[in-house]
């Protein structure tokens, strides 16, 4: 009787085992397949964000599914763009479907067919998360440097204590995003520790000793931390603080920009050599016109000077001042002009070497912690204007100052709103250098640099006519 009863109940027993063991096993396998699909879609979307091809993204998704998630028997299907769902047809998104044969133990004993394959689906893509960038600070861990300069209104300052340092008694208002790759420490937007240390040094600092100094921007994004979250706010009155710490670094927005050569831009780059030029003219005398070409240094002491449109390559320094480009007096008209500053005395616009080989790698620290500026420009000279290369066909369109990437020397720009009829616009790029803005009023310029210091006399505004790319990040959306 027991055996007969066992024979009758055995199918039911195996059915219960199939439900409990095979069912839970299939749920675990489904979760593993979903994680693999999520990882593959996110990795493929990151490839696309970084400029990879669709083929590369497909290979990445497959590798993440089969190798990194140990699903060697899985059959991933990668669709770029997705073929279904709300993101169908959008080439910024990736759809990954993972099909895995289910592993079961008891279902087959009941005489049923094998369990169907487990199929999981995920969609990931990249989206903008900030406004266009007005300021990008690129150096993750810069050497401590100070600027050797003695100018009216420019105080003697110690070594930098932040990747982006705002000093003075007013607000720095930025119409755009501020993106800082510096890893130094401090706190995040919630007051929790962020970055490599407690600070100083900080990722961003707003004169810790002065509560009246603030940085206001559309977005503020830093890899490390800040000195005090209350020093940061939105440039638009009434909006919440845009501060975000502990973020991933952003790419150099101008890394692909080639150094100036005649081949790169024959309309604006010339090989004519003019040596070192110092202009000393009567204030009311006729203007002197300079032409694009190669210079050892350029110094304006007095008088009216017109820079004809084009690229000015400055590859040396004034032996008396140690400065390559000094525009501190007179009346300067530089419309449709880009200054390329290099510490390579043999730079030629024919080959562009060795500057063209700098790439993205970081140069060694400077031999001295106190550096003489390569450029000093008083952007508030009465009646003076500085505008960038204006031809959209030029690779230097929108550029006003471009310093060799390996050149760490500071660039100092002065501004005074009290003096009317002057303006400075365009992009300033010094990948591993240091840009220092001094004064008050408005710079219609964007800045991409290694480190940056702003010294405000009153409120100072950075309001570029053209912004650099916004931050884009990968999101798992389905």
Q: Return the pLDDT at 225.
A: 96
**For the segment 349-362, what is each residue's pLDDT rounded down to a tens digit?**
999 989 999 989 99
In this predicted structure, the answer to whether residue 11 has a pLDDT above a threshold of 60 is: yes
Inter-residue contact 242 to 226 (CB < 8 Å)? no
In this predicted structure, the answer to whether residue 318 has a pLDDT above a threshold of 90 is: yes
Q: Compare 422 and 287 and report the one with higher pLDDT.
A: 287
Q: Which residue has the tokens 């001295």?
A: 368
Mean pLDDT of 76-104: 88
Mean pLDDT of 430-436: 96
Cis peptide before 366 (omega within 30 of 0): no
Q: Which segment of 20-29, 296-305, 424-433 scores lowest on mean pLDDT?
A: 20-29
Q: Return the pLDDT at 9.
A: 63
Q: Return the pLDDT at 147.
A: 82
Per this entry, what is the length of the chain?
478
Q: Return the pLDDT at 199.
A: 79
Mean pLDDT of the chain: 88
Instruction: Grade residue 273 by pLDDT with cuts at 50, 70 and 90.
Output: very high
Instruction: Grade residue 330 by pLDDT with cuts at 50, 70 and 90.
Output: confident
Instruction: Grade residue 115 by pLDDT with cuts at 50, 70 and 90.
Output: low
**For the segment 126-140, what is each residue's pLDDT rounded down to a tens digit?**
999 999 999 999 999
Instruction: Grade residue 30 by pLDDT with cuts at 50, 70 and 90.
Output: confident
In this predicted structure, the answer to whether residue 111 has a pLDDT above a threshold of 80 is: no
Burial zone of 127 (CB within 10 Å; 0-12 exposed, 13-18 middle, 19+ buried) = middle
Q: Which segment of 201-210, 261-270, 404-413, 445-454 scores lowest on mean pLDDT?
A: 201-210
Instruction: Grade residue 205 by pLDDT with cuts at 50, 70 and 90.
Output: very high
| Percentage of the chain exceeding pLDDT 70 | 88
In this predicted structure, the answer to whether residue 120 has a pLDDT above a threshold of 60 is: yes
| Percentage of the chain exceeding pLDDT 90 | 63
Overall pTM > 0.85:
yes
**DSSP string for 131-195:** PPEEEEE--SSPPP-EE---BTTB----S--EEEEEEESSEEEEEEEEEE----BEE-TTS-EES
Q: What is the domain partition of the chain in residue ranges?
A: 2-128, 133-470
Instruction: Grade residue 279 by pLDDT with cuts at 50, 70 and 90.
Output: very high
Mean pLDDT of 235-262: 94
Strand partners, 174: 217, 462
User: Which of 158-162, 241-245, 453-457 shows the highest mean pLDDT?
Assistant: 241-245
Mean pLDDT of 281-309: 93
**For the segment 233-243, what is each residue's pLDDT rounded down to a tens digit?**
999 988 999 99
* Residues 208, 212, 213, 218, Cα dihedral to 10°: 120
Instruction: Grade residue 347 by pLDDT with cuts at 50, 70 and 90.
Output: very high
In this predicted structure, the answer to whether residue 429 has a pLDDT above a threshold of 70 is: yes
From CA 194, how far away is CA 223, in angstroms rounded? 8
């Amino acid at each position: 009787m027991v055996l007969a009863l066992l024979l009758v109940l055995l199918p039911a027993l195996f059915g219960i085992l199939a439900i409990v063991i095979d069912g839970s096993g299939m749920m675990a396998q489904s979760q593993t397949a979903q994680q693999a699909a999520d990882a593959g879609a996110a990795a493929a979307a990151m490839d696309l964000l970084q400029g990879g091809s669709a083929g590369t993204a497909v290979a990445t998704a497959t590798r993440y599914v089969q190798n990194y998630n140990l699903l060697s028997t899985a059959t991933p299907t990668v669709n770029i763009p997705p073929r279904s769902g709300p993101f169908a047809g959008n080439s910024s998104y990736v759809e990954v479907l993972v099909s895995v044969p289910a592993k079961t133990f008891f279902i087959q004993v009941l005489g049923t067919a094998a369990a169907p394959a487990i199929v999981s689906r995920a969609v990931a893509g990249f989206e903008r998360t900030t406004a266009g960038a007005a300021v990008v600070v690129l150096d993750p861990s810069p050497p401590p440097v100070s600027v050797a300069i003695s100018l009216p209104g420019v105080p003697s300052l110690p070594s930098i204590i932040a990747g982006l340092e705002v000093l003075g008694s007013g607000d720095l208002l930025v119409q755009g995003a501020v993106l800082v790759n510096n890893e130094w420490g401090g706190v995040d937007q919630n007051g929790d520790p962020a970055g490599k240390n407690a600070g100083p040094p900080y990722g961003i600092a707003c004169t810790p000793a002065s509560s009246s100094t603030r940085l206001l921007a559309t977005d503020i994004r830093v890899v490390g931390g800040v000195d005090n979250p209350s020093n940061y706010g939105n440039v638009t009155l009434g909006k919440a603080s845009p501060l975000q710490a502990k973020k991933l670094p952003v790419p150099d927005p101008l890394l692909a920009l080639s150094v100036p050569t005649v081949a790169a831009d024959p309309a604006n780059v010339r090989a004519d050599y003019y040596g070192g030029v110092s202009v000393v003219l009567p204030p009311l005398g006729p203007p002197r016109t300079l032409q694009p070409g190669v210079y050892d240094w350029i110094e304006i002491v007095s008088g009216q000077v017109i820079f004809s449109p084009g690229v000015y390559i400055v590859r040396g320094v004034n032996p008396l001042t140690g400065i390559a480009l000094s525009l501190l007096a007179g009346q300067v008209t530089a419309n449709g002009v880009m200054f390329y500053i290099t510490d390579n005395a043999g730079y030629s616009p024919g080959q562009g070497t060795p500057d063209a080989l700098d790439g993205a790698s970081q140069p060694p620290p400077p031999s001295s912690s106190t550096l003489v500026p390569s450029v000093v420009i008083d952007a508030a000279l009465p009646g003076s204007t500085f505008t960038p290369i204006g031809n959209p066909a030029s690779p230097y369109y929108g550029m006003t100052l471009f310093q060799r990437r390996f050149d760490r020397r500071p660039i100092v720009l002065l501004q005074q709103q009290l003096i009317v009829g002057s303006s400075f616009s365009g992009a300033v790029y010094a990948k591993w250098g240091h840009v220092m803005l001094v004064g008050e009023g408005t710079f219609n310029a964007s800045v991409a640099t290694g480190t940056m210091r702003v010294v405000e006399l009153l409120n100072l505004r950075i309001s570029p006519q053209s912004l650099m790319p916004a931050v884009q990040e990968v999101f798992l959306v389905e």
